[in-house]
Amino acid sequence: MSRLNSFRSFLRGREPQPRAALEFLRYIGPGILVTVGFIDPGNWAANVAAGSGFGYSLLWIVTLSTLMLILLQHNAAHLGIATGLCLSEAATEHLPAWLSRTLQVSALGAAASTALAEILGAAIALELLFHLPLPLGGVLATAFSLWALLTNSYRKLEKWIIAFVSLIGLSFLFELSLVKVPWTMALRGWVVPAVPEGSMLIVMSVLGAVVMPHNLFLHSEVIQSREWHLLDESAIRKQLRYEWMDTIFSMGIGWAINSAMILLSAATFFSAGIRVTELGQAQSLLRPLLGNAAALVFCLALLFSGLSSSVTAGMAGGSIMAGIFREPYNIRDRHSRFGVFLTLGLGCLILFFVKDPFSGLIYSQMLLSVQLPVTIVCQILLTSSRKVMGRFANSVLDNALLWGIALVVTALNLILLFS
Protein backbone atom coordinates (compact mmCIF):
# COMPACT_ATOMS: atom_id res chain seq x y z
CA MET A 1 0.00 0.00 0.00
CA SER A 2 1.41 3.41 -0.90
CA ARG A 3 1.81 6.09 1.73
CA LEU A 4 -0.98 8.14 0.10
CA ASN A 5 -3.41 5.22 0.21
CA SER A 6 -2.37 4.51 3.79
CA PHE A 7 -3.14 8.09 4.74
CA ARG A 8 -6.53 7.98 2.99
CA SER A 9 -7.47 4.72 4.68
CA PHE A 10 -6.60 6.28 8.04
CA LEU A 11 -8.89 9.23 7.33
CA ARG A 12 -11.85 7.08 6.36
CA GLY A 13 -11.35 4.45 9.08
CA ARG A 14 -14.31 3.07 10.97
CA GLU A 15 -13.40 4.69 14.25
CA PRO A 16 -15.13 7.99 15.08
CA GLN A 17 -12.79 10.90 14.39
CA PRO A 18 -12.43 12.11 18.01
CA ARG A 19 -11.53 8.63 19.20
CA ALA A 20 -9.09 8.10 16.32
CA ALA A 21 -7.46 11.44 17.02
CA LEU A 22 -7.06 10.65 20.72
CA GLU A 23 -5.62 7.24 19.91
CA PHE A 24 -3.14 8.83 17.49
CA LEU A 25 -1.79 10.97 20.35
CA ARG A 26 -0.66 7.79 22.10
CA TYR A 27 1.71 7.04 19.23
CA ILE A 28 3.41 10.44 19.08
CA GLY A 29 6.94 10.01 20.38
CA PRO A 30 9.61 8.48 18.13
CA GLY A 31 9.14 11.19 15.51
CA ILE A 32 9.29 13.94 18.12
CA LEU A 33 12.61 12.58 19.41
CA VAL A 34 14.00 12.79 15.88
CA THR A 35 12.69 16.35 15.58
CA VAL A 36 14.43 17.38 18.81
CA GLY A 37 17.64 16.41 17.02
CA PHE A 38 16.92 19.25 14.59
CA ILE A 39 17.76 21.72 17.34
CA ASP A 40 21.21 20.28 18.00
CA PRO A 41 24.35 22.50 17.84
CA GLY A 42 25.35 21.32 14.36
CA ASN A 43 21.93 22.18 13.05
CA TRP A 44 22.04 25.64 14.65
CA ALA A 45 25.42 26.30 13.03
CA ALA A 46 24.31 25.11 9.57
CA ASN A 47 21.11 27.16 9.60
CA VAL A 48 22.77 30.31 10.97
CA ALA A 49 25.52 30.00 8.35
CA ALA A 50 22.92 29.55 5.60
CA GLY A 51 20.87 32.59 6.64
CA SER A 52 23.76 34.92 7.48
CA GLY A 53 25.77 34.04 4.39
CA PHE A 54 23.12 33.60 1.70
CA GLY A 55 19.93 35.19 2.99
CA TYR A 56 16.72 33.43 2.00
CA SER A 57 18.09 31.65 -1.06
CA LEU A 58 18.83 28.34 0.71
CA LEU A 59 15.41 27.81 2.31
CA TRP A 60 14.63 25.34 -0.47
CA ILE A 61 17.10 22.81 0.93
CA VAL A 62 15.11 22.76 4.20
CA THR A 63 11.93 21.98 2.24
CA LEU A 64 13.62 19.32 0.13
CA SER A 65 15.43 17.78 3.12
CA THR A 66 12.23 17.60 5.17
CA LEU A 67 10.29 15.88 2.39
CA MET A 68 13.10 13.36 2.01
CA LEU A 69 13.30 12.94 5.77
CA ILE A 70 9.59 12.12 6.08
CA LEU A 71 9.88 9.28 3.56
CA LEU A 72 13.19 7.95 4.87
CA GLN A 73 12.28 8.03 8.57
CA HIS A 74 8.95 6.35 7.92
CA ASN A 75 10.66 3.75 5.78
CA ALA A 76 13.17 3.02 8.58
CA ALA A 77 10.33 2.74 11.10
CA HIS A 78 8.45 0.55 8.59
CA LEU A 79 11.38 -1.88 8.71
CA GLY A 80 11.32 -2.03 12.51
CA ILE A 81 7.56 -2.48 12.75
CA ALA A 82 7.30 -5.19 10.10
CA THR A 83 10.41 -7.26 10.95
CA GLY A 84 11.30 -6.55 14.57
CA LEU A 85 14.85 -5.76 13.41
CA CYS A 86 16.65 -2.44 13.49
CA LEU A 87 18.45 -1.28 10.35
CA SER A 88 21.84 -2.58 11.51
CA GLU A 89 20.48 -6.01 12.52
CA ALA A 90 18.60 -6.35 9.24
CA ALA A 91 21.73 -5.44 7.27
CA THR A 92 23.77 -8.14 9.04
CA GLU A 93 20.99 -10.68 8.56
CA HIS A 94 20.06 -10.05 4.93
CA LEU A 95 22.79 -8.13 3.06
CA PRO A 96 26.10 -9.49 1.74
CA ALA A 97 28.83 -9.18 4.38
CA TRP A 98 30.87 -6.66 2.36
CA LEU A 99 27.86 -4.38 1.93
CA SER A 100 26.57 -4.63 5.50
CA ARG A 101 30.04 -3.89 6.91
CA THR A 102 30.47 -0.93 4.57
CA LEU A 103 27.13 0.42 5.78
CA GLN A 104 27.83 -0.18 9.46
CA VAL A 105 31.41 1.10 9.55
CA SER A 106 30.52 4.25 7.61
CA ALA A 107 27.42 4.72 9.79
CA LEU A 108 29.58 4.49 12.92
CA GLY A 109 31.75 7.20 11.39
CA ALA A 110 28.65 9.32 10.79
CA ALA A 111 27.51 8.74 14.39
CA ALA A 112 30.95 9.84 15.62
CA SER A 113 30.74 12.92 13.40
CA THR A 114 27.36 13.67 14.94
CA ALA A 115 28.79 13.14 18.42
CA LEU A 116 31.59 15.59 17.58
CA ALA A 117 29.02 18.28 16.73
CA GLU A 118 27.00 17.66 19.87
CA ILE A 119 30.00 17.51 22.22
CA LEU A 120 31.53 20.56 20.54
CA GLY A 121 28.26 22.47 20.92
CA ALA A 122 28.08 21.62 24.62
CA ALA A 123 31.75 22.62 25.01
CA ILE A 124 31.08 25.97 23.32
CA ALA A 125 28.20 26.55 25.74
CA LEU A 126 30.44 25.74 28.72
CA GLU A 127 33.07 28.11 27.34
CA LEU A 128 30.49 30.91 27.03
CA LEU A 129 29.01 30.21 30.46
CA PHE A 130 32.09 29.44 32.57
CA HIS A 131 35.07 30.31 30.30
CA LEU A 132 36.21 26.67 30.27
CA PRO A 133 38.67 25.66 27.52
CA LEU A 134 36.95 23.76 24.71
CA PRO A 135 38.86 20.48 25.27
CA LEU A 136 37.96 20.44 28.97
CA GLY A 137 34.31 21.24 28.17
CA GLY A 138 34.29 18.43 25.62
CA VAL A 139 35.64 15.92 28.13
CA LEU A 140 33.02 16.97 30.70
CA ALA A 141 30.20 16.73 28.13
CA THR A 142 31.41 13.28 27.04
CA ALA A 143 31.65 12.09 30.65
CA PHE A 144 28.10 13.27 31.35
CA SER A 145 26.73 11.53 28.25
CA LEU A 146 28.47 8.26 29.14
CA TRP A 147 27.18 8.47 32.71
CA ALA A 148 23.64 9.13 31.48
CA LEU A 149 23.74 6.16 29.12
CA LEU A 150 25.50 3.69 31.38
CA THR A 151 23.21 4.40 34.34
CA ASN A 152 20.06 4.97 32.27
CA SER A 153 19.72 8.26 34.19
CA TYR A 154 19.03 9.99 30.91
CA ARG A 155 15.49 8.62 30.91
CA LYS A 156 14.76 10.70 33.99
CA LEU A 157 16.17 13.88 32.43
CA GLU A 158 14.92 13.36 28.89
CA LYS A 159 11.50 15.00 29.22
CA TRP A 160 12.93 18.09 30.91
CA ILE A 161 15.68 18.49 28.33
CA ILE A 162 13.31 17.95 25.41
CA ALA A 163 10.83 20.42 26.88
CA PHE A 164 13.48 23.11 27.39
CA VAL A 165 15.13 22.69 23.98
CA SER A 166 11.74 22.56 22.27
CA LEU A 167 10.80 25.80 24.04
CA ILE A 168 13.84 27.48 22.52
CA GLY A 169 12.89 26.11 19.10
CA LEU A 170 9.39 27.50 19.48
CA SER A 171 10.83 30.86 20.52
CA PHE A 172 12.49 31.04 17.10
CA LEU A 173 9.05 30.65 15.54
CA PHE A 174 7.57 33.33 17.80
CA GLU A 175 10.36 35.76 16.96
CA LEU A 176 9.25 35.80 13.34
CA SER A 177 6.57 38.25 14.47
CA LEU A 178 9.26 40.55 15.86
CA VAL A 179 11.47 40.89 12.78
CA LYS A 180 10.78 42.20 9.30
CA VAL A 181 10.88 39.31 6.85
CA PRO A 182 10.39 39.93 3.10
CA TRP A 183 7.94 37.08 2.71
CA THR A 184 7.93 37.21 -1.09
CA MET A 185 11.65 36.44 -1.09
CA ALA A 186 11.16 33.80 1.60
CA LEU A 187 8.39 32.03 -0.34
CA ARG A 188 10.58 32.01 -3.44
CA GLY A 189 13.48 30.65 -1.39
CA TRP A 190 11.36 27.77 -0.08
CA VAL A 191 10.37 26.44 -3.51
CA VAL A 192 12.97 27.65 -6.04
CA PRO A 193 16.32 25.81 -5.85
CA ALA A 194 19.32 28.11 -6.01
CA VAL A 195 23.00 27.43 -5.32
CA PRO A 196 24.81 30.77 -4.94
CA GLU A 197 28.54 30.76 -5.54
CA GLY A 198 30.38 29.30 -2.57
CA SER A 199 27.23 27.87 -0.94
CA MET A 200 27.59 24.16 -1.77
CA LEU A 201 29.26 23.29 1.54
CA ILE A 202 26.43 25.00 3.43
CA VAL A 203 23.79 23.28 1.26
CA MET A 204 25.24 19.89 2.14
CA SER A 205 25.60 20.88 5.80
CA VAL A 206 21.91 21.80 6.03
CA LEU A 207 21.01 18.53 4.28
CA GLY A 208 23.18 16.55 6.70
CA ALA A 209 21.79 18.47 9.66
CA VAL A 210 18.21 17.51 8.73
CA VAL A 211 18.55 14.02 7.22
CA MET A 212 20.94 12.49 9.76
CA PRO A 213 22.03 8.88 9.07
CA HIS A 214 22.22 7.91 12.74
CA ASN A 215 18.56 8.93 13.20
CA LEU A 216 17.52 6.34 10.61
CA PHE A 217 19.25 3.62 12.64
CA LEU A 218 17.89 4.98 15.90
CA HIS A 219 14.29 5.29 14.65
CA SER A 220 14.22 1.66 13.52
CA GLU A 221 15.76 0.62 16.87
CA VAL A 222 13.19 2.52 18.96
CA ILE A 223 10.31 1.13 16.90
CA GLN A 224 11.47 -2.50 16.83
CA SER A 225 11.94 -2.52 20.60
CA ARG A 226 8.14 -2.29 20.91
CA GLU A 227 7.82 -5.70 19.17
CA TRP A 228 4.82 -4.74 17.06
CA HIS A 229 5.90 -7.32 14.47
CA LEU A 230 4.53 -10.01 16.81
CA LEU A 231 0.97 -8.73 16.30
CA ASP A 232 -1.40 -9.85 13.53
CA GLU A 233 -1.41 -8.22 10.09
CA SER A 234 -4.28 -5.81 10.74
CA ALA A 235 -2.61 -4.58 13.94
CA ILE A 236 0.70 -4.06 12.14
CA ARG A 237 -1.01 -2.04 9.41
CA LYS A 238 -2.63 0.07 12.11
CA GLN A 239 0.77 0.76 13.69
CA LEU A 240 2.14 1.74 10.28
CA ARG A 241 -0.68 4.24 9.76
CA TYR A 242 -0.21 5.89 13.13
CA GLU A 243 3.57 5.95 12.74
CA TRP A 244 3.13 7.61 9.33
CA MET A 245 1.04 10.35 10.92
CA ASP A 246 3.55 10.74 13.76
CA THR A 247 6.36 11.19 11.24
CA ILE A 248 4.49 13.78 9.16
CA PHE A 249 3.47 15.73 12.26
CA SER A 250 6.93 15.67 13.85
CA MET A 251 8.91 16.42 10.70
CA GLY A 252 6.52 19.29 9.92
CA ILE A 253 7.47 20.85 13.25
CA GLY A 254 11.12 20.36 12.35
CA TRP A 255 10.63 22.08 8.98
CA ALA A 256 9.06 25.10 10.69
CA ILE A 257 11.85 25.44 13.27
CA ASN A 258 14.64 24.98 10.70
CA SER A 259 13.02 27.54 8.43
CA ALA A 260 12.60 29.97 11.32
CA MET A 261 16.31 29.74 12.16
CA ILE A 262 17.30 30.63 8.59
CA LEU A 263 14.69 33.38 8.32
CA LEU A 264 15.80 35.00 11.57
CA SER A 265 19.46 34.67 10.69
CA ALA A 266 18.83 36.25 7.28
CA ALA A 267 16.74 39.07 8.76
CA THR A 268 19.20 39.71 11.61
CA PHE A 269 22.63 39.15 10.05
CA PHE A 270 22.41 38.98 6.25
CA SER A 271 20.40 42.20 6.01
CA ALA A 272 23.11 43.92 8.07
CA GLY A 273 25.95 42.43 6.02
CA ILE A 274 27.20 40.31 8.94
CA ARG A 275 28.44 36.79 8.26
CA VAL A 276 28.42 34.62 11.37
CA THR A 277 31.74 32.93 12.16
CA GLU A 278 31.09 31.97 15.79
CA LEU A 279 28.06 30.21 17.22
CA GLY A 280 28.09 32.60 20.16
CA GLN A 281 27.09 35.41 17.77
CA ALA A 282 23.77 33.67 17.22
CA GLN A 283 22.65 34.48 20.76
CA SER A 284 21.60 37.87 19.41
CA LEU A 285 18.77 36.05 17.60
CA LEU A 286 17.03 35.66 20.96
CA ARG A 287 17.65 39.18 22.20
CA PRO A 288 14.41 40.71 20.75
CA LEU A 289 12.39 38.16 22.71
CA LEU A 290 14.43 37.74 25.88
CA GLY A 291 16.39 40.99 26.18
CA ASN A 292 19.60 40.82 28.19
CA ALA A 293 18.78 37.31 29.33
CA ALA A 294 19.26 36.11 25.73
CA ALA A 295 22.90 35.15 26.22
CA LEU A 296 22.19 33.02 29.29
CA VAL A 297 19.15 31.28 27.80
CA PHE A 298 20.95 30.69 24.50
CA CYS A 299 23.95 29.12 26.25
CA LEU A 300 21.79 26.90 28.44
CA ALA A 301 19.76 25.76 25.44
CA LEU A 302 22.95 25.06 23.51
CA LEU A 303 24.34 23.09 26.46
CA PHE A 304 21.19 21.02 27.00
CA SER A 305 20.71 20.35 23.29
CA GLY A 306 24.35 19.29 22.96
CA LEU A 307 24.12 16.93 25.92
CA SER A 308 20.79 15.38 24.91
CA SER A 309 21.85 14.96 21.27
CA SER A 310 25.22 13.45 22.21
CA VAL A 311 23.35 10.82 24.23
CA THR A 312 21.21 10.09 21.16
CA ALA A 313 24.33 9.79 19.00
CA GLY A 314 25.83 7.38 21.52
CA MET A 315 22.68 5.27 21.50
CA ALA A 316 22.76 5.15 17.70
CA GLY A 317 26.41 4.05 17.75
CA GLY A 318 25.56 1.35 20.29
CA SER A 319 22.64 0.18 18.14
CA ILE A 320 24.82 -0.02 15.01
CA MET A 321 27.55 -1.99 16.80
CA ALA A 322 25.03 -4.36 18.42
CA GLY A 323 23.45 -4.98 15.02
CA ILE A 324 26.79 -6.21 13.68
CA PHE A 325 26.49 -9.06 16.20
CA ARG A 326 22.79 -9.62 15.43
CA GLU A 327 21.69 -8.10 18.74
CA PRO A 328 19.28 -5.31 19.70
CA TYR A 329 20.63 -2.32 21.60
CA ASN A 330 21.13 -3.08 25.30
CA ILE A 331 23.46 -0.91 27.35
CA ARG A 332 24.18 -3.91 29.63
CA ASP A 333 25.61 -5.84 26.66
CA ARG A 334 29.32 -5.37 25.90
CA HIS A 335 28.77 -4.86 22.16
CA SER A 336 26.30 -2.01 22.73
CA ARG A 337 28.61 -0.46 25.34
CA PHE A 338 31.57 -0.69 22.98
CA GLY A 339 29.59 1.09 20.26
CA VAL A 340 28.64 3.85 22.71
CA PHE A 341 32.23 4.32 23.92
CA LEU A 342 33.59 4.24 20.35
CA THR A 343 31.11 6.83 19.09
CA LEU A 344 31.46 9.30 21.95
CA GLY A 345 35.18 8.65 22.38
CA LEU A 346 35.97 9.39 18.74
CA GLY A 347 33.79 12.51 18.83
CA CYS A 348 35.63 13.78 21.90
CA LEU A 349 39.07 12.88 20.50
CA ILE A 350 38.52 14.73 17.22
CA LEU A 351 37.50 17.82 19.17
CA PHE A 352 41.12 18.21 20.33
CA PHE A 353 42.17 18.75 16.70
CA VAL A 354 39.43 21.27 15.81
CA LYS A 355 40.96 24.74 15.43
CA ASP A 356 37.81 26.57 14.33
CA PRO A 357 34.75 25.38 16.33
CA PHE A 358 32.14 26.93 13.99
CA SER A 359 33.76 25.41 10.89
CA GLY A 360 34.05 22.11 12.79
CA LEU A 361 30.28 22.09 13.28
CA ILE A 362 29.68 22.87 9.61
CA TYR A 363 32.03 20.17 8.31
CA SER A 364 30.65 17.58 10.73
CA GLN A 365 27.19 18.09 9.23
CA MET A 366 28.59 17.94 5.70
CA LEU A 367 30.17 14.54 6.46
CA LEU A 368 26.73 13.23 7.41
CA SER A 369 25.40 14.05 3.95
CA VAL A 370 28.38 12.27 2.36
CA GLN A 371 27.47 9.04 4.19
CA LEU A 372 23.75 9.34 3.44
CA PRO A 373 23.73 7.59 0.02
CA VAL A 374 25.18 4.40 1.55
CA THR A 375 22.51 4.25 4.27
CA ILE A 376 19.69 5.13 1.89
CA VAL A 377 20.64 2.52 -0.72
CA CYS A 378 21.01 -0.26 1.86
CA GLN A 379 17.73 0.70 3.52
CA ILE A 380 15.90 0.56 0.18
CA LEU A 381 17.41 -2.84 -0.63
CA LEU A 382 16.09 -4.16 2.68
CA THR A 383 12.63 -2.60 2.70
CA SER A 384 11.92 -3.45 -0.95
CA SER A 385 12.76 -7.13 -0.43
CA ARG A 386 9.84 -9.50 0.07
CA LYS A 387 12.25 -11.94 1.69
CA VAL A 388 12.87 -9.36 4.42
CA MET A 389 9.52 -7.55 4.64
CA GLY A 390 7.05 -10.14 3.37
CA ARG A 391 3.78 -8.53 2.29
CA PHE A 392 4.92 -5.24 3.86
CA ALA A 393 7.64 -4.68 1.26
CA ASN A 394 7.77 -1.29 -0.46
CA SER A 395 5.26 -0.61 -3.22
CA VAL A 396 6.37 0.47 -6.69
CA LEU A 397 5.60 4.09 -5.80
CA ASP A 398 7.57 3.81 -2.54
CA ASN A 399 10.60 2.46 -4.37
CA ALA A 400 10.39 5.14 -7.06
CA LEU A 401 10.33 7.92 -4.44
CA LEU A 402 13.10 6.38 -2.33
CA TRP A 403 15.41 5.74 -5.29
CA GLY A 404 14.72 9.30 -6.43
CA ILE A 405 15.93 10.53 -3.02
CA ALA A 406 19.06 8.37 -3.32
CA LEU A 407 19.83 9.88 -6.74
CA VAL A 408 19.30 13.46 -5.52
CA VAL A 409 21.57 12.99 -2.49
CA THR A 410 24.23 11.30 -4.60
CA ALA A 411 24.07 14.08 -7.21
CA LEU A 412 24.45 16.77 -4.53
CA ASN A 413 27.48 14.94 -3.14
CA LEU A 414 29.06 14.80 -6.60
CA ILE A 415 28.44 18.53 -7.07
CA LEU A 416 30.10 19.17 -3.70
CA LEU A 417 33.09 17.04 -4.75
CA PHE A 418 33.61 18.89 -8.02
CA SER A 419 33.07 22.30 -6.42
pLDDT at 15: 45
Question: Average pLDDT of 157-166?
Answer: 68
CA atoms within 13 A on the CB side of 257: 24
CA atoms of 149 and 157, how far apart (whole Å): 11
Mean pLDDT across the chain: 83
CA atoms of 259 and 46, how far apart (whole Å): 12
The confidence band for 230, taking pLDDT boundaries of 50, 70 and 90, is very low
CA atoms of 257 and 279, how far apart (whole Å): 17
Question: Average pLDDT of 350-370?
Answer: 87
Q: Of 23-37, 276-290, 328-342, which has the strongest mean pLDDT?
A: 328-342
pLDDT tens readout for residues 286-309:
666 656 666 777 788 788 888 888
**Among 99, 77, 69, 97, CA closest to 383:** 77
Residue 55 CA: distances (Å) to CA of 49, 52, 100, 337: 9, 6, 40, 43
Taking a C-beta distance cutoff of 8 angstroms, is the pair 175, 285 a contact?
A: yes
CA atoms of 32 and 35, how far apart (whole Å): 5
pLDDT tens readout for residues 69-119:
999 988 998 898 888 888 999 999 999 999 999 999 999 999 999 999 999
Residue 282 pLDDT greater than 90, yes or no: no
Taking a C-beta distance cutoff of 8 angstroms, is the pair 253, 28 a contact?
A: no
pLDDT at 278: 78
Q: What percent of the chain has pLDDT over 90?
A: 41
Q: What percent of the chain has pLDDT over 70?
A: 81
Could you say which of 3.40.50.720, 1.20.1740.10, 1.20.1180.10, 1.10.357.10 is the CATH number of the domain covering 3-418? 1.20.1740.10
Taking a C-beta distance cutoff of 8 angstroms, is the pair 310, 142 a contact?
A: yes
DSSP 8-state secondary structure symbol assigned to residue 395: P
CA atoms of 91 and 97, how far apart (whole Å): 9
Taking a C-beta distance cutoff of 8 angstroms, is the pair 115, 364 a contact?
A: no
The confidence band for 174, taking pLDDT boundaries of 50, 70 and 90, is confident
CA atoms within 13 A on the CB side of 192: 10
Taking a C-beta distance cutoff of 8 angstroms, is the pair 304, 161 a contact?
A: yes
What is the chain's length? 419
pLDDT at 273: 87
Sorted by where each begins, the domain ranges of the chain are 3-418
| Least confident stretch, 17-31, 161-175, 281-295, 361-375 | 17-31
Give me the helix-helix angle, 334-351 and 294-324, nearest 10°.
140
pLDDT at 271: 85
CA atoms of 79 and 59, how far apart (whole Å): 31
352: Cα separation from own chain's centroid: 24
The confidence band for 14, taking pLDDT boundaries of 50, 70 and 90, is very low
